[in-house]
Amino acid sequence: MTRAALSGSKFPSGNLWKILPLVMLLCTSFTLPALAQEKEKLWRTLSVSGRGVETIPTTLAQVTLGVEIQGKTAQEVQQEAARRSSAVVAFLKSQNVEKLQTTGIQLNPVYSYTNNVQRITGYAANNTVSFRIPTEKAGTLLDNAVKAGATQINGISFVANDEAIALAQKQALKEATQDAQQQADAVFSALGFKAKEVVSIQVNNASPPPPPMFLRAEAAKVADSSTPVVGGEQEVEASVTLQISY
């Protein structure tokens, strides 16, 4: 019995088993070199990480001020804290400070312990605000803020302005890229290899905030003398990782 030819095919079905191995061989012949090239490209790479650091002066003081009031009743304490806080905020606005915002409002009971018995003896309210001011103006402003009603200087940290940080980040990235490239050139030179192309680039650009310098001061202590405030420097760091084929 003669087998029927496959519909739409020029080859008889009986010869199909002879053709398939040839087709598979041709596909394999073209596929294997391509896979080998891809694997070689992935295997023959060098990864190097470069680091760049820029040091810039801090020109702004980030300040947190607080008003703390204690009294017998919650209403009395909260009203006095609100009154003093409003006076402090009004003063800060008159000084055109930057990024002024409320950072905390608290009202808590005050307890006393007698013979292991807990008893409420009053209440304490604490309102805090934060803002930025040029470092050279911070000392005088702190003294006047205390006179306006602030009872605590909760924290001061020093930062550069946003424009200076942005410029420093770009420069640090350039330095990190150049550092990574120089490392790669040194390795290839020592091994006698020649760099071909950059396969991948990974950028890790970070500018961690400076460690805050925490201060606490009572109104009477600060008002007696001018408060010296001296800024410092801030480091802006960037890292770049290059993967280079050879």
Q: Which residues pair with 201 in a beta bridge?
A: 242
| 210 neighbors 158 (Cβ within 8 angstroms) | yes
33-44 residue pLDDT tens:
556 556 555 678
The DSSP symbol for 73 reads S
- N- to C-terminal Cα separation, the chain: 62
pLDDT digits (tens, 9 = 90+) for 186-218: 999 999 999 999 999 999 855 444 444 444 444
Tell me: pLDDT of 220 over 50.
Answer: no
**What per-residue confidence (pLDDT) applies to 209?**
46
Tell me 13's DSSP state. Answer: G
Q: Per residue in 94-136, pLDDT tens?
A: 999 999 999 999 999 999 988 888 999 999 999 999 999 999 9
| Residue 125 identity | A
| Helix ranges restricted to H, the chain | 16-43, 74-94, 135-148, 162-191, 219-223
Q: Which amino acid is at 48?
A: V
Distance, in Å, from the CA atom of 50 to the CA atom of 54, rounded to the nearest integer, reads: 14
Q: What is the mean pLDDT of the chain?
A: 82
Is the full-model pTM beyond 0.75?
A: no
Classify 107 as helix, strand or coil: strand
Angle at 48 between CA 44 and CA 51, to 5 degrees: 170
The pLDDT of residue 36 is: 57
pLDDT in tens, 140-191: 999 999 999 999 999 899 999 999 999 999 999 999 999 999 999 999 999 9
